[in-house]
Amino acid sequence: MRIRSVDIHNQTFSVSFRGFDPGEVDEFLEKIADELELLNTEKEDLERALVAERETRAKVEEALAASHNMQRTIVDHARREAQQITNGARADAKAFIEETRSIAKDYLRDLEVLKEKRITFLSELAGMASMLSEWVERQPDEPGHDTSALEELLSDPMNPTAPELEDYAEPPVSDPSDVKSDESKAAPPSFVTGDDDKEVPGQLEQPVLAGYSEDSKGPDPEPDEDQTTEEEPSPRSSSSFTLVED
């Protein structure tokens, strides 16, 4: 049976001969009751504090467990994300390397094609130069004119040692088609380039024969006798002549 402070306060004793002093006994009982009440109060406070401490400890343990779980979750998520980033970076690097190799192969292939085209172009250019050189060598040299005797004749027509004017006359042209055929024989060759496959004829001017105009197909018409002035013919010559300057 537990003794409470109230029980101590209410406790009474019977009086006997030669017993204790009742006042002292009551005073002592009052002190014991007060001390017991104080101890009970402290006990209740400690019990309440213990309950609060247990609740706090439970909360701390729960928070610690939650933090451990969160830590494991964060670490696992970080590892998975790092693995994904690593795999993605490796895949991107591999794709970039493959693309770079493909581009490099294309550049090398284009470079080889350009080298072949360059070799072909230089070969065609050398062939064109050789053909032009051969064509130039086949062209006849332009005849020169010794004008010293002609100047002597013009300065002194009466000189018996001067040559005849017929020596400087141009040969007659019987048929203009013969002249055209001769001109066509001297035409430069055509060349075919490797770019647009078009013929490029040689750009050389054809000589114009004396007595023929570019727009006419035959010899120039003879001047009318009425329009010519009458002059005394030279004792050495009775026909007109034409000088062609080089």
Domain borders along the chain are 25-116
Give, for 47, the enclosing helix (H) or strand (E).
helix 22-138
Report pLDDT for 207.
43
State pLDDT tens for residues 37-85. Answer: 888 899 999 999 999 999 999 999 999 999 999 999 999 999 999 999 9
How far is 150 from 152, CA to CA, in rounded Å? 5
State pLDDT tens for residues 130-170. Answer: 998 888 888 876 555 555 655 665 666 555 555 554 554 55
Which of 240, 170, 174 is CA-nearest to residue 207?
A: 170
Which of 134, 237, 110 is CA-nearest to residue 189?
A: 134
State pLDDT tens for residues 6-36. Answer: 777 676 766 666 677 777 778 888 888 888 8
State pLDDT tens for residues 194-203. Answer: 444 444 444 4
Give, for 200, the enclosing helix (H) or strand (E).
strand 199-200
C-alpha 85 chain-centroid distance: 31
How far is 33 from 53, CA to CA, in rounded Å? 30
